[in-house]
Amino acid sequence: MQLAEHLKVGDAGLKRKIGKAGIQALKDAVIRHEEGLHTTREVLSQIMTDTACERALARDTKWFVENLKTEKSGSNAFDYAFKVVEAHGREALTAEPKILIGTVHSVKGGQADVIYVFPDLSFQADNDMHTSADGEDRARRVFYVALTRAYEELVICAPSVKYSSKSPRMFVPL
């Protein structure tokens, strides 16, 4: 159902006058276990035409690609995923990534053999660190989380900007 909002409306896609509100209402109905929504076919038939429902259930990727909405930029939300599948097969979309890149907050709770930490702060975090009573403690806690994610090796990289201790607004490129 999450993919439905990316489909075109028409004979081979979504039923007319469904929209995001209709898709959300259906999601809510599924969560409430409403009568008549026990199978995938029953759920999809509420928002998709018969043709679209059959082709979606058959996992017809050609149909899916042909019926994706195009964004204003001329591409669609799945261009990158299709390139990955083309180059590495469908399994690449669900395989465990070899490299994960994220903020400290996004990887909180995760661990890996080797962790690279780039100690750059956002403007807001740097500002808070210098102007808030507990800003420096919060910054330390965030870096503690980053530094304790590694099983075997921790690599601390140089920041991309030089921070001035005089003012949080004094960012100087290295």
Say if pTM beats, i.e. exceeds, 0.95. no
**What 3-state class would DSSP assign to 162?**
strand
Q: Supply φ then ψ for residue 55, to 5 degrees.
A: -70, -35
Residue type, 34: E
Helices (H) and strands (E) in the chain, counts: 7, 4
**What 3-state class would DSSP assign to 21?**
helix
Judging by DSSP bridges, how do beta strands 150-156 and 161-163 pair with one another? unpaired
**Maximum Cα–Cα distance for the chain, whole Å?**
66
Q: At which residue do the structure tokens 């469908």 appear?
A: 90
Per residue in 116-145, pLDDT (tens digit) is 988 777 777 777 777 888 888 888 888 888
Domains of the chain: 4-68 (no CATH), 112-173 (3.30.160.800)
Q: Answer whether residue 162 shows pLDDT above 70.
A: no
